[in-house]
């Protein structure tokens, strides 16, 4: 998995990496105090962001990646070219949790993933690597689903 600097990435990817760092600032995480931001690049070039949103009933907390995906899909976008994820740990790349991997696989099982650090180093990977042999619509009786 390649590690690059944001400035080495193509424009659209730079844009989502920066957007994930900005979205992180909106994190509502009074319980874990662990801020996460995500930014998803839609096939039409639109960028949709999300942050983690926690709850006093801890189990209801939602991750940044799912916030971004839920926002995008609810706005009519289901085709994605990549997602950038920025977390709050210095010197470490933070990968998406298992639930978010599954949630992303629904829409793109090989989605390019950019793990962004605050020093703007970026680890480049994809969902095919992070969630191989994933269970997706093609494995269900709904594999005829045509998006309507
Ligand atoms: N979190 C995310 O937003 N994304 C991840 O991929 C990992 C974890 C959030 C959930 C919770 O609000 C906090 O980080 C600590 O687990």
Closest CA to 110 of 85, 86, 87, 136: 136
**Separation in Å, CA 49 to CA 28, 35, 58, 122, 146:** 14, 14, 22, 17, 26
Which helix (H) or strand (E) segment holds residue 15: the answer is helix 11-24
Res 1: pLDDT: 72
Query: Is a pLDDT exceeding 60 seen at residue 148?
Result: no
The β-bridge relationship of strands 80-86 and 112-116 is: parallel
Active site residue 65: yes
Alpha-carbon gap, residue 69 to 91, rounded angstroms: 26
Q: What percent of the chain stands above pLDDT 90?
A: 89
Ligand 1, atom nearest to 32 Cα: 15
Q: Specify if 100 maps to a domain.
A: yes
Residue in 65, 79, 92, 133 annotated catalytic:
65
Closest CA to 24 of 36, 16, 13, 32: 36
DSSP string, 133-146: T---GGGSTTTT--
Q: What angle do CA 121, 123, 128 make, to 5 degrees?
A: 165
Q: Specify if 138 maps to a domain.
A: no
Ligand 1, atom nearest to 54 Cα: 12
How remote is the CA of residue 79 from the centroid of ligand 1, in Å? Answer: 23
Q: Specify if 130 maps to a domain.
A: no
Domain containing 49 — which CATH number? 3.40.140.10
Alpha-carbon gap, residue 115 to 30, rounded angstroms: 23
Q: Specify if 143 maps to a domain.
A: no
Res 64: pLDDT: 98
pLDDT tens readout for residues 4-42: 999 999 999 999 999 999 999 999 999 999 999 999 999
Q: Specify if 82 maps to a domain.
A: yes
Res 33: pLDDT: 97
Three-state DSSP class for 11? helix
Containing domain of residue 65, as a range?
2-125
pLDDT tens readout for residues 51-65: 999 999 999 999 999
pLDDT tens readout for residues 24-33: 999 999 999 9
* Domains: count for the chain: 1
Query: Is a pLDDT exceeding 60 seen at residue 144?
Result: no
pLDDT tens readout for residues 126-143: 999 999 999 998 888 765
pLDDT tens readout for residues 62-107: 999 999 999 999 999 999 999 999 998 888 999 999 999 999 999 9
Q: Specify if 140 maps to a domain.
A: no
Is residue 36 within 6 Å of ligand 1 at its C-beta? yes
Q: Specify if 77 maps to a domain.
A: yes
Is residue 97 within 6 Å of ligand 1 at its C-beta? yes
Q: Specify if 137 maps to a domain.
A: no
């Amino acid at each position: 998995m390649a590690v690059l600097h944001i400035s080495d990435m193509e424009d659209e990817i730079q844009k989502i990496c920066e957007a994930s760092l900005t979205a992180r600032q909106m994190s509502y995480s009074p319980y874990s105090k662990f801020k996460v931001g995500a930014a998803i690049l839609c096939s039409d070039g639109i960028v949709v962001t999300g942050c983690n949103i926690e709850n006093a009933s801890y189990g209801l907390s939602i991750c940044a990646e799912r916030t971004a995906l839920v926002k995008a899909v609810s706005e009519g976008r289901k085709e994605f070219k990549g997602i950038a994820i920025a977390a709050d740990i210095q010197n470490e790349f933070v990968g998406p949790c298992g639930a978010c991997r599954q949630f992303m696989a629904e829409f793109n099982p090989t989605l390019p993933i950019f793990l962004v650090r605050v020093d703007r180093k970026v680890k480049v990977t994809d969902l095919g690597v992070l969630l191989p042999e994933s269970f997706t619509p093609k494995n269900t009786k709904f594999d005829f689903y045509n998006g309507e």
